[in-house]
Structure 1
Amino acid sequence: MFFVSALFLGILAGCGANKTSQSASKNTSKGEKNEKVVVYSNSVSNGRGDFLKEEAKKKGFKLEVVDLGGNDLFNRLIAEKDAPVADVTFGMNQMMFTTLKKKGMLSAYSPKWLDKVDKKLIDKDSKFSPLSEQRVFMIYNSEKIKKNKVIKSWKDLYTTSSLKGKYIVPTNLGGATANAVVYTQLMNHKDKDGKLGISNKGWNELDKFFKNGAILSEGQTEVAALANGDVDYSYTFLSNIPVVEQKLGVKLGIVNPPYGVPQTVEQVGILKKKHVSASAKKFVDWLGTAEFQGKWAEKFGTAPVNKDAQSSMNKRVKEVMKETTPQNLDYEFVNDHLAKWDENIELNILK
């Protein structure tokens, strides 16, 4: 979740980007076998996957796209480690990709657009490459709650009696967004002598957070529950804001705690296989271009790290980035402990 400390655009189809995408299209159309590319992603919901396949088809790519939540995607890749099915995976944050790298699951590759990205975001071993920034935060219906009445932090949710049962909590920890909701709170209670590196107070407060919140009804989304008036507060991620505001006809307010909000960088990587297809590499070369990232940003509210695509960033996304402050988190610590934290929460809090 290394950061652009702005964490995570008009299409500037300059000659370099056009040349890259045209080359990818030309080469892929010819390709030795024009091989199908199997893509695993946690960033293809809400129409993103169909759009990706449509745009990729125009460039001559044959895609099979598998849509999974962040943790589910990560676990599936781990389970398939010895016989990987996916050729390419994208959307997970740098913490998850770092773990895949440590397990020797990624093939080194430097996409042609990497020179358009801040060097601080680039993996020194070229095992994965950054695509876009993401942030996770609390939200409320700004038409129902006045700004001067808005809570200041996650703790206010479970310490304000009138909000009991009036805010959404994750029902499971299968996605990166739900995980961010957890670690943004736990990291305020680091304790080297505490359980899994967190103080007893930290675990007790997280327990109160879950116990006093509301879970989603079947088929309901975190934002829909808010728009319907079922709850006063919920949570979401940066690129979701313009999409759901338009779809649900609601203007969301953003809560920026004093310590800030989690901010991560979504990545793309090629799985290590006996045969890494040329089509997989060409697909990655195209995926991060200013041409495609610009279109992706305009349609789905992402915040690309490709500098030539950033002028296409949605106006609303830019507003939210100004309203939120990146939390100063030790992501290496989070990465080392997150699996155990999730296990503890599933067994002792969400039971």
Structure 2
Amino acid sequence: MKNFKKFLSLILVALLLLITACSNEESSKDDSGDAEKETVNRDEKLIVYTNANSDGRGEWLVEKAKEEGFNIEIVGAGGGDLTNRLISEKANPVADVVYGLNHMFFEQLQAEDVLIPYEPKWAGEVEEGINDPDNYYHGLVKVALIMAYNADVVDSVDLAKGYLEIADNADFKGVYQARDDLGAATSKVIVASILSNFADPNGELGISDEGWKYIEKFYENGVQIPEGEDYYSMLSSGKAPIGTIISGELAAKIEQYGVEPSFIHPEQGTPQVVESVAIVKGTKKEALAQEFIDWMGSADVQGEFAAQFNAMPANVEARDNVTDFLKEVFADVKQQDIDWEFVTENIDAWVEKLELEIF
């Protein structure tokens, strides 16, 4: 009996040792997995798609990222073209990160299952209502698309209704810009700003007949920007002295062309969008992409970017660095109330109709 108790005790001790060993081994595996997850090789190249790399902004980001130890390659294109490219590459993605697109495009990418969710460390510092609630994209820069004119070429302009008035005024025929490059984000936002005022559930593509007639007249009476020309060069030279300026590019354009515009603040408000950032689904460098986004959207980096490029950061912790110039630009800007969900559902069909029937 004693021998049996002794044997039983040995069995129990052996089992306890085995359980402890297994537990330690599993713990070691977990620790190793965590360590592997936390270890990121910054020498690996990140492919970054963007439509916000003009006026030195892309070069600045590449250089700052390099100083931080990141190796990034910028691939630039218009917002619509970039969105279509990401969707077409969905089965074999090339990009790791995409930034600069507004929420209209990011909603399309999310619907096409092109993005993966990630909540950056700085997400809670972003102005309320800007980030995607499901963490697929997060705001970097607020941009206002402000109507403006060259006061040296045209007299003081009073356009109380902005886009809704300009095409009906014979004095402005052949004077204002009507961008027909509908692959670009800015042009699509202008279309959205106009057509959303003519929403009609019984109309073609959700727009009334009046709306389609108006936007046809808008393009017919406006001036298109020739290939190789710049919207600001058209404004500053007087070839088309009324147009839409992009708040984040304004300071650089004034310096480049030496002409400071006067602003038009319509009663209905000015369209505003937010440039955001997201991780592309299928990237083989997800952890590196997360680390890069944590750095890129931080208050320090966005504050430095704001000071360098007169940008309005979505990260409120970075707004101490906003220049007095940009504060003045935004001081009188009232945001236009646009149903972006409605726009996102219809913008591609609107553009297709414009390209096939109006241009």
Residues 45-78 of structure 1: CA distance to partner in whole angstroms, max 9, x if unpaired? 1211111111110011111100111101101001
Q: Which residue of 2 aligns with 1:277?
A: 286
* Structure 2 SS opposite 1:151: coil
Equivalent-residue separation in structure 2 for 1:33 and 1:164 (angstroms): 54
Q: Which residue of 2 aligns with 1:338?
A: 347
Q: Which residue of 1 aligns with 2:327?
A: 318
**1:276 partner letter:** K
Alpha-carbon shift at residue 180 of structure 1 (Å)? 1.2
Conservation of the 8 A alpha-carbon contact between 2:96 and 2:283: no
Q: Which residue of 2 aligns with 1:232?
A: 241
* Structure 1 SS opposite 2:308: helix
Conservation of the 8 A alpha-carbon contact between 2:95 and 2:283: no
Q: Which residue of 2 aligns with 1:329?
A: 338
Q: Greater CA deviation, 76-85 or 30-39?
A: 30-39
Out of 190, 198, 210, the residue aligned to residue 219 of structure 2 is 210
**2:167 partner letter:** Y
Conservation of the 8 A alpha-carbon contact between 1:35 and 1:277: no
Out of 266, 289, 292, the residue aligned to residue 298 of structure 2 is 289
Equivalent-residue separation in structure 1 for 2:287 and 2:255 (angstroms): 39
* Structure 1 SS opposite 2:251: helix
Q: Which residue of 1 aligns with 2:88?
A: 79
**Is 2:191 the counterpart of 1:182?**
yes
Alpha-carbon shift at residue 274 of structure 1 (Å)? 5.9
- Counting matched residue pairs gives 321
**2:348 partner letter:** A
Q: Greater relative contact order: 1 or 2 (C-alpha under 8 angstroms, separation 6 or more)?
A: 1
Residues 109-136 of structure 1: CA distance to partner in whole angstroms, max 9, x if unpaired? 1111112123422222211111111121
Conservation of the 8 A alpha-carbon contact between 1:172 and 1:346: no
**2:339 partner letter:** D
Residues 293-344 of structure 1: CA distance to partner in whole angstroms, max 9, x if unpaired? 1121112221101122111112222122122211111110000000000000
Relative to its length, the structure with more helix (as a share) is 2
**Is 2:141 the counterpart of 1:132?**
yes
Out of 201, 205, 210, the residue aligned to residue 196 of structure 1 is 205
Give the TM-score, by structure 2 length. Answer: 0.85
Q: 1:102 to 1:231 in 2, by over 3 A?
A: closer
Equivalent-residue separation in structure 1 for 2:328 and 2:255 (angstroms): 15
Q: Greater CA deviation, 135-144 or 66-75?
A: 135-144
Conservation of the 8 A alpha-carbon contact between 1:107 and 1:270: yes
Q: Which residue of 2 aligns with 1:150?
A: 158
Q: Which has the higher Rg, Structure 1 or Structure 2?
A: 2
* Structure 1 SS opposite 2:65: helix
Give the TM-score, by structure 1 length. Answer: 0.87
**Is 2:52 the counterpart of 1:52?**
no
* Structure 1 SS opposite 2:167: helix
* Structure 1 SS opposite 2:100: strand
Percent identity (aligned): 35
**Is 2:276 the counterpart of 1:267?**
yes
**1:151 partner letter:** L
Q: Which residue of 1 aligns with 2:252?
A: 243
Conservation of the 8 A alpha-carbon contact between 1:254 and 1:323: no
Q: 1:315 to 1:82 in 2, by over 3 A?
A: same
Q: Which residue of 2 aligns with 1:299?
A: 308
Conservation of the 8 A alpha-carbon contact between 1:70 and 1:176: yes
**2:40 partner letter:** G
Alpha-carbon shift at residue 34 of structure 1 (Å)? 2.5
Alpha-carbon shift at residue 146 of structure 1 (Å)? 4.5
Conservation of the 8 A alpha-carbon contact between 2:269 and 2:336: yes
Question: What runs of 5+ residues in structure 2 fail to find an aligned partner?
Answer: 1-35
Q: 1:53 to 1:340 in 2, by over 3 A?
A: same
Equivalent-residue separation in structure 2 for 1:151 and 1:125 (angstroms): 39
Cα RMSD, aligned residues only: 1.7
Equivalent-residue separation in structure 2 for 1:312 and 1:331 (angstroms): 29
* Structure 2 SS opposite 1:92: coil
Alpha-carbon shift at residue 175 of structure 1 (Å)? 0.9
Q: State how 1:29-40 maps to structure 2 within 5 Å.
A: 31-32=40-41, 34-40=43-49
